[in-house]
A and B are shown apart, each in its own frame.
Chain A
Amino acid sequence: MLTNKLSRREFLKVSASAAGGVIFSLQAPWLRAEEGSSRLNAFVTIEPDGHILIGVSQPEMGQGMYSTMSALVAEELDADWGKVSVEQLPLMLKRDAEGNLAWGLVPQGAGGSNSVVSLYTPLRQFGAGARHQLLLAAAEKWGVPAEELTTQPSRVLHAKSGRRADYGALASRAAAMPPSDHAPELKSPETFRLIGQTFEPKAIRELVDGTAIYGVDVRRPGMRYAVIARCPFFSGKLLDFDDAEARKVEGVLDVVEVPGPPDDGYYTTLAPGVAVVATSTWAAIKGRAALKIRWDEGPFRQETTASLDAECQQALDKGEGQVVQDVGDFDAAMSRAEKKLTRRYRLPYVHHATLEPQTCFAHVREDGCEIIGPIQMPATASRMVAQLTGLDRLAIDVQMSRLGGGFGRRLTVDYVAEAVLVSKAAGGPILVQWTREDDMAHDFLRPGGWHELTAGLDENDRIIAWRHRVASPSKYYRRPGEEHWRSEIYVDDPPVGLVDNVRYEYFDMRSGAWRGSWRAPAHTANAFAVQSFLDELAHETGRDPLTLRLELLGEPRQLRYSDHGGPEWNPGRLARVLTVAAEAAGWGEDLPEGEGLGIAGHFTFGGYAAWVAHVSVASDGSFRVRRLVGAIDCGLAVNPNGIRDQMEGGACDALSTALDQEVTIEGGRHKETNFHEYRMMRIADSPPEIDVHIVPGSDIPSGVGEPPVPPIAPAVTSAIFAATGRRIRALPVGDRIRS
């Protein structure tokens, strides 16, 4: 039996005895160090040989937390980066003086491209605090004032006496120093050694030798494996089941029912089901195949993709949606417009399809619970576990394995709840494993729908009126008290602030499909519609698509923005990334027959991203995105290599989605069952060239997980138009330009 690497370190374990009604203080459990090493704070442990272990509070799902977060600490610690390794910290919660639950040290979780935004200062403070302790230790050792000391990477210096000491030699003394109440000053950015530089990424060797631990790799003594037969129908129910044959399968130990979610409330589990517990994954899969189950197919059994498409269009035909934004007077402006244009665009339901299917380890005991899994939001998981078990939040130990992809799927913790329910019912440590078919059948889809855009132009082709109608099911459909439109339309999105008369309308469509947050949520849908429409307006009025955008955006200035990345945005920064990408891509130069460039840009989550796609289309209609040129302004670029990673990967993710991805609804359930039907881009269709330009437009960093995604689809379809004259208004592109 392999032992789980995550369990190796004592501080990762919240022990039952410590939890028995005792409130954790900040001293436990995540401040404990292994023997011989010195823990200066939760984030900094130094070994006598100078090796530095930096704790990472955020889950790693491919967005580069192990490198970026540890660099923030190492910068202010003035650590020799070559001596730094990283470790995943567990969820750290505490009770404050009033007895309220609070973050132990820093907010934890990965979502909304937020980590670098929320932790840029706190993590540097932890690094600076640890460095200060090392200075105090050296001052005490040498009998000199701490103010006379300076540091070089991993070394304290006293210039006057020429004395120097490595961090390793000072660490145990530093750890014993009483914590100083003096908050050390942070470096000024021009003295950064790591931040803004290209530095070596951390913890990547384990990714190439097979030793990295994901949720599916968790192994614990006595652990059993479970798979669940879930009701595939939207809001379906379990009628009854017969497990006699399943129980006869060799290796099957138990069969337990997993209750479904409440009808209207927020999700616990995703669907009702029957869990088979066994000695191995394979035995559980075979046992499940032997179950006989009858499902109630639920209230959405008639739903199909065609029915939803038709209903969206009928809603738009009828017009008059819920007005959620109304600036100026759209109707009056339209009545005096010289030219008018209306276009509709169609977006499909898309799936997260993390390559590591959902999985979670849970061990529920009477006095506590251990959770290990690929979790984006550990505190959400902890809250869910407390609801299901009645345990005190501090008795619930949530550890984050690596995530085999997140993309928003693991913001929801239904799979954690399942593991808890099965562990509770069957007893003992359980790993619930989803198969790919399970995963394809159940996901929180990015809502699909139809968008209708209308613009009115004056005699100079200036846009004077703009209306955007969105007919789609809402992601917020199971959040009581939340307005449905809020998840689908962001009211301050441009052209609000750029065009005088703007109206946004929402049509709340009914669908049974499970919906949720998908990387850059509704921005992916809205940017496709808006950027495509701008391209159409440019062509309809004989203007260059870049020029039209730059005219529309105008001068740099602050405009209000109440959604992701607010409270303000600056159209000048968007204009700049568009310009940089266009110049680097050779915008405006002549191209051979069958080739074309398309451009799009979008602001979200505090970042400004623009892409130019270069597409070549063969005579048979097959095409390839030959090159993508991107520019991003995410403020201060903390980890340029990581930013490039997210731009390249985000572009390929978005391209893959635009090309082929759609979850089709048939009979109130997902039709696609695996990757042969839900087609993802392979290397053969990926752009052989991706050129990324980082354009820092502020001295405050913003996240880069999501901003690269929204402009890709419209840039590519606009490039297809430039190459062929065929306008793609419905995604996925699929074979549309062949047919």
Chain B
Amino acid sequence: MELKINGQRYDYEGDPEQPLLWVLRDEIGLTGTKYGCGIGQCGACTVHVDGVARRSCATPIRKVEGRSVLTIEGLSAEGDHPVQRAWIEEDVSQCGYCQPGQIMAAVYLLQRVPSPTDEQIDEMHTNLCRCGTYYRVRRAIHLAARYMREDS
């Protein structure tokens, strides 16, 4: 089957049930997408499929055949997407393991709600952070919203 990941085309011939996560990590070498739980609970594996945030650990590869997958590596050429810039400015990360997923989830949130309230963030942003960086995640989402308004 044909896969389209970060604008690149790949031909995949393996197990159609293999989760997208493991194809990204083990077969394509895109290790920025992280394994945390394997059941779509933690969000460390969040990627976009046709522009929609998906938990890649719970997405069999057959479901993304012919669709466009975006990973953290493809989010911006220079790591300077407004959300990434906000994450750096607020120094959100501690261990950092969940942060690619947090960022991909935040990008999707801001696509839907460009200026979210705290309540909307509480409702829509469900990724786990074991280090407890939520205070800065929230601030960074607000800051990224501002960057995106300024950029547009």
Contact = CB atoms under 8 A, between A and B. Distances in A.
A596 B88 CA distance: 35
Interface in A253-278: none
Given A209-B84, A355-B36, A402-B96, A204 B91 contact: yes
Interface in A62-83: 62-64
Given A282-B18, A405-B97, A676-B39, A652 B135 contact: yes
Interface stretch (A32-40, A487-495, A614-622, A642-650): A642-650
B131 A62 contact: yes
Contact of B122 (A61, A436, A653, A684): A684
A631 B137 CA distance: 22
B34 A216 contact: yes
A212 B96 contact: yes
Contacts of B134: 652, 681-683, 686
A652 B98 CA distance: 15
Main secondary structure of the interface of A (DSSP, over half): loop
B95 A355 contact: yes
A638 B2 CA distance: 52
Interface residues of A, number: 65
Interface in A650-693: 650-653, 655-656, 674-676, 680-684, 686-690
Nearest to A225: B26
Contacts of A690: 135
A207 B26 contact: no
Interface string B124-152: 01111111111111100000000000000
Contact of A356 (B18, B26, B97): B97
Contacts of A207: 87, 93, 96, 99
Interface in B4-39: 15, 18-19, 22, 25-27, 29-39
Interface residues of B, number: 58
Contact of B37 (A214, A354, A436): A436
A62 B31 contact: no
B79 interface: yes
A433 B25 CA distance: 13
Contacts of B15: 250, 282, 286
A436 B94 contact: no
B41 interface: yes
Contacts of A332: none
Given A214-B97, A436-B38, A682 B127 contact: yes
Interface string B22-63: 100111011111111111011010000000000000000000
Interface in B86-109: 87-88, 91, 93-100, 103
A249 to B, nearest CB: 10
B36 to A, nearest CB: 5
A353 interface: yes
A675 B42 contact: yes
A649 B136 CA distance: 9
Contacts of B133: 645, 648-649, 652
Contact of B100 (A210, A433, A688): A210
Given A645-B91, A682-B128, 4 more contacts: A1-B29, A209-B76, A212-B96, A216-B25
